Amino acid sequence: MSIFEKIASLFKSESDFLQDLKRKFGEDSAPLVLEAFDKINLPVPTKSNQYLKSNEGSLVFVNKYGVVVRVEPQNPAKNYYVRVNDSGCILQPIGSIDAGTAVIEICPGCNVEKDEDSIEFMKALLECEGLIFSDPQLENLGRLYTDSTRYPDGILVILDRLAVSTKKENINIVKNKVSEEAKKEQKRFTAPFRDAFKEGLADKSKMRRFWELLENYASQGKIKRGWNDNSDFFDKIDYLSKTSRAEEVAKYYSRILEKYEKKNAKQ
């Protein structure tokens, strides 16, 4: 079955995921998102229990490979938020694909932060860069593992790139040493993933190497398999619920991923 036949069959069935894509990104962009999943060798979620809805788009937790796939607006600035590409305070994707009005970003799994003081610390770091932590929830912060001994607890980063906005008033932007060093370390540590992803996009047969590399890192605990490790902690805090829901949808998505990969292995 070709990619276009797959897309057509999904449109006929009108899955939960497809309906969400149409509502958030429009009729023209929805099939482009489905095509993007095919390009990166991932099954498209269908039922609502296989992905996590967000205000901006959808999150798919691919725990086997230690990544979160984010489907979000291409131009978030129209909706108040901004997507910042040059700050070490914000987790950067290891791969992304444009899909009309949407963008699909693959982000490495991190430990969700537990220290409430980190919220104010992050606000201060962003302020120097003319940014605001506009959705300052603890669940939006995490620690990206790195093999550098300079970061024994990992790099503190904002997990949700659209949890940030820009200051409206004119300010003097100051380069922050903490952010600059973290940016360099992020790039260094994730370089193998980013390189493998680019090769996979250019030649689909090489995309397998990208996933194998991630699975190897995930099995060693260098990237996290979802937000699951901290779900018990967040269950105790009433106003935080994303982590527990992420654990649930990750389980259901893992089932369709297993079937998808078994079917592809036979072909």
pLDDT, greater one: 243 or 232:
243
Report the distance separating Cα 25 and Cα 80, nearest Å. Answer: 17
Instruction: Give the helix ranges, DSSP H, for 82-176.
Output: 117-128
pTM of the predicted protein model: 0.87
Mean pLDDT of 228-242: 50
Task: Give the pLDDT band of residue 56 (cuts 50, 70, 90).
Answer: confident
Query: What is the per-residue pLDDT for 238?
Result: 47
Query: What is the per-residue pLDDT for 226?
Result: 75
**How far is the CA of 46 from the CAs of 4, 5, 9, 15, 225, in angstroms?**
17, 16, 12, 5, 21
**Residue partners of 252: CB distance under 8 A and separation at least 6:** 47, 49, 50
**How far is the CA of 178 from the CAs of 119, 122, 185, 220, in angstroms?**
15, 11, 11, 27
Query: What is the per-residue pLDDT for 195?
Result: 98
Query: What is the per-residue pLDDT for 248?
Result: 87
Report the distance separating Cα 112 and Cα 140, nearest Å. Answer: 8
pLDDT at 242 over 70: no
Report the distance separating Cα 104 and Cα 119, nearest Å. Answer: 27
Report the distance separating Cα 80 and Cα 167, nearest Å. Answer: 11
Mean pLDDT of 98-116: 93
In the DSSP assignment, the letter for residue 146 is -
Instruction: Give the helix ranges, DSSP H, for the chain.
Output: 3-13, 16-25, 30-39, 117-128, 177-202, 207-219, 231-235, 242-266
Mean pLDDT of 153-175: 82
Query: What is the per-residue pLDDT for 239?
Result: 45
